[in-house]
Amino acid sequence: MKKIILFLLVLFPICTFAQVKFEETNIKKALERAKKENKGLIVDVISGRIDKENIDKVLSDKATTDLLLKNFIPIRINLMKPENESFTEYIANLSYPVTVFLNQKGNTLGSCHWDAITGGYENFGKILDAAIKVDLEKKANTKKIDFLDIDYKQALEMSKTSGKPVFVDCHFEGCGPCKRMVVNVFNLDRVADFYNQNFICIQIDRDKDPHRVCEKFKVFGFPGYLYINAAGALILKDDGFKAPDDFMALGGKALAAHKNGTTSDVQTTSGSSSSPQATGMATSATSTPMSNSVAAGNSAAGSSATAMGSNSSSVNSSTVQFEKLSLNDAIAMAKSQNKAIYVDMSATWCGPCKMMKEKTFPDPQVVEYLNKNFISINFECDIDSALSNVYRDKYISTAFPTHLLIDKNGELIHKFVGYMSVPSFLAELNKGVMANTGLNSFHKRYEVGERSAAFMNEYITMLANANEGKRASGLASEYLKTLSMNDLANKKTFYLINEFVRDLDSELAQKVLTNKQIFEKNVGKGDVDSYEKMLWLIKAMSFVSGKDGEKVLDKVGYDKFLKRLDASGIDKNDYVKMTSTMENYHLIADWNSYAQHAIAYMKKNKGKASPMLTWNWGSRLQMGCTDKDLRAKYVDEMESNYELIKKTDADQAVVWKESMKILINDLKK
């Protein structure tokens, strides 16, 4: 069963207000305007369709839209228009369709998906706040990692004399995640200071590696990070794009290991990286040739650009007989040849689509199977829109690549999305040939009453993998209610519970919590504890609602909830209480209560307080609170608390040094 990846942050309350207007333009004009107005850009990147319903829901709050428009210019880029092809470099390795925040230089500040926000899997307020924070930090930065113009052996010699370990950034030309590290991480002051102070830093191009360092240390994922001691022994290895704090933490881990004299074998660590073995099970919007990322709501993994190099499959003399046919012509040909129809819905810029063309379609088994059983059609939807739009509209294709299996009467047999390895692709194609195995046959089997556990699990998964998450959610809720305790308390079923049952007071959620010991025994205590905490947090966020254009906290209801939370014993470290209290006060703009709770947290935890939390809270105060006395009171406490953190957690203090400095200055203005 494929894993359906869904992301939960916090629920986003909805109320009605004025709409933000997105101007359809090109990136060159938009960046020129951004420079003139000294703002960033929020770019709604579409493939012809505008998600108006979800956009209106997300941007219906006055405080949010005011903050958005104060900092960003809303524009829309339609990737179905050939003139916008150059924009794909700005969204390399991001889920598609997507909304991205860019600064005036075109650097990515953050991204989100409208449907994921309204579904409760992403939080627009937090993403917006983070984008503003990153923009402020980028504007204040003047440094970058000093990669020395020396080769690997010279770096080892320098390591011997300096006592510093060597840090090697392994990359290749055209690698999207590699470029993101250069643009978004390597040029931050705090990152540069940390790496320049502690490491001999060099870069190695995978295709120009005379000492064969990438081969020696088995670097398959790019960007790859090698931490090596003066003797040439590997201390630590990792790969993939890293957020600044994660990248610094990785360096800190390497320093600690170096200090202890610890070395590592050359087995690669897991990560989100570029890899020849990567199987990007999802739609990508990227100009880098081999970039795998996930369409919102799809079952997929990875945010990376695959480093194929010269390893791409050779094209066989016998190839798939692809056509470009209208739907009517395809149906007519299918009837005359007594075959089904296979349609590859792709795009010229789509990395996983290119992987299908280079790795899967040339395979002799695939060639034989498609040519024998199907009328095969291929559309690059950004240039074949005249023909492809009929298919996209009729069979609801919103992700690339989407694979459609259609019978000779034009009825959908099966649908699936993303890059497929040869065995997986043949297995999915077989569902279009064998009876009762395709998505449409599952629709029919469900309609006539089939409800077996195996069928329902496969059907719900199949719907999610076909990018039909809303229907999958509805069926999962309906199906789970029919199961006995024994059937509920197993790992496969609990996965569905975790993804689709998120109301603390629902009958099914309460059933899980009442029988917690049974679930812990069969599923695992850690998974059950995480699920329980998630339920309480979602509930805690449900007491703010919109009224007359304003957000209002149901204080009576929330206070009652907090008593219930205390009585439950679930929130031993006060995580749910603290997170929801601060979020609720922020939503209703009660800055006095917001600051008082934050200050109380710092006084209670002293040097063990989280600088990430105190910075984030201060950042929100800086952006939303105009009370100078309150800001001054907060910054005084934050400065004092940061001095305590320096004494108890020096590494964290270094990580947050520059960010704290900027925020403290801003709060004092």
Instruction: Tell me which of 385, 418, 433 is where a domain ends.
Output: 433
Q: Is 551 helix (H, G, I), strand (E, B) or coil?
A: strand
Instruction: Tell me which of 414, 433, 452 is where a domain ends.
Output: 433
262 has which bridge partners? none
Evaluate the omega torsion of the peptide bond into residue 611 and state whether it is cis, within 30 degrees of 0.
no
Does 38 fall in a domain? Answer: yes
Instruction: Check if the beta carbon of residue 85 is closer than 8 Å to that of residue 266.
Output: no
102 has which bridge partners? 41, 108
Give the number of other CB atoms < 10 A from CB of residue 409.
8
Return the ∠ at Cα 210 (arms to 205 and 213), rounded to 5°.
65
Relative to beta strand 40-46, strand 72-78 is parallel
Instruction: Tell me which of 417, 433, 449 is where a domain ends.
Output: 433
* CATH number of the domain that residue 370 is part of: 3.40.30.10
Q: Does residue 227 share a domain with residue 189? A: yes
- H or E element in which residue 514 lies: helix 507-514
Q: Does residue 326 share a domain with residue 418? A: yes
pLDDT of residue 282: 36
Q: Would the CA dihedral through 598, 602, 605, 611 be positive or negative?
A: positive
Q: Does residue 337 share a domain with residue 233? A: no
Q: Which of 659, 632, 509 is nearest to 139 (CA)?
A: 659
Does 587 fall in a domain? Answer: yes
Query: What is the mean pLDDT for each group of 10 consecutive residues in the chain (669 residues)?
Result: 38 45 89 92 85 86 87 88 70 71 89 82 86 83 90 94 95 77 88 94 90 87 91 91 87 90 55 34 32 28 32 52 92 90 87 84 90 91 81 82 89 84 84 64 79 79 67 79 86 81 89 92 85 90 82 93 92 85 92 95 91 87 90 94 87 76 86
Instruction: Check if the beta carbon of residue 76 is closer than 8 Å to that of residue 114.
Output: no
DSSP 7-59: -----------PPPPPEE--HHHHHHHHHHHT-EEEEEEESS---HHHHHHHT
Does 514 fall in a domain? Answer: no
Q: Does residue 29 share a domain with residue 134? A: yes
Q: Does residue 123 share a domain with residue 172? A: no
Q: Does residue 168 share a domain with residue 130? A: no
SS (HEC) of 593-659:
HHHHHHHHHHHHHHHHCCHHHHHHHHHHHHHHCCCHHHHHHHHHHHHHHHHHHHHHCHHHHHHHHHH
C-alpha distance from residue 132 to each of 34, 59, 98, 477 (Å): 14, 17, 18, 38
Range of the domain at 350: 322-433
Does 526 fall in a domain? Answer: no
Q: Does residue 402 share a domain with residue 328? A: yes
Instruction: Check if the beta carbon of residue 504 is closer than 8 Å to that of residue 539.
Output: yes
pLDDT of residue 427: 82
Q: Does residue 136 share a domain with residue 114? A: yes
SS3 content of the chain, % helix, strand, coil (to 5): 50, 15, 35
Considering its fold, how many domains does the chain have in total?
Answer: 4
pTM of the model: 0.43
C-alpha distance from residue 400 to each of 407, 416, 506, 563, 573 (Å): 21, 10, 36, 48, 43
Tell me 266's DSSP state. Answer: S
Cα(331)–Cα(311) distance, rounded to whole angstroms?
37
Q: Does residue 119 share a domain with residue 176? A: no
Does 283 fall in a domain? Answer: no
The two three-digit tokens of residue 229, written as one number: 């001691």
Edge-to-edge strands, sheet with 412-417: 322-323, 374-380, 340-346, 402-406, 412-417
SS (HEC) of 406-450:
ECCCCCEEEEEECCCCHHHHHHHHHHHHCCCCCHHHHHHHHHCCC
Does 7 fall in a domain? Answer: no
Does 420 fall in a domain? Answer: yes
Q: Does residue 172 share a domain with residue 116? A: no
Q: Does residue 346 share a domain with residue 250? A: no
Q: Does residue 136 share a domain with residue 35? A: yes
Does 646 fall in a domain? Answer: yes
C-alpha distance from residue 535 to each of 499, 514, 539, 568, 574 (Å): 11, 14, 6, 13, 15
Tell me 357's DSSP state. Answer: I
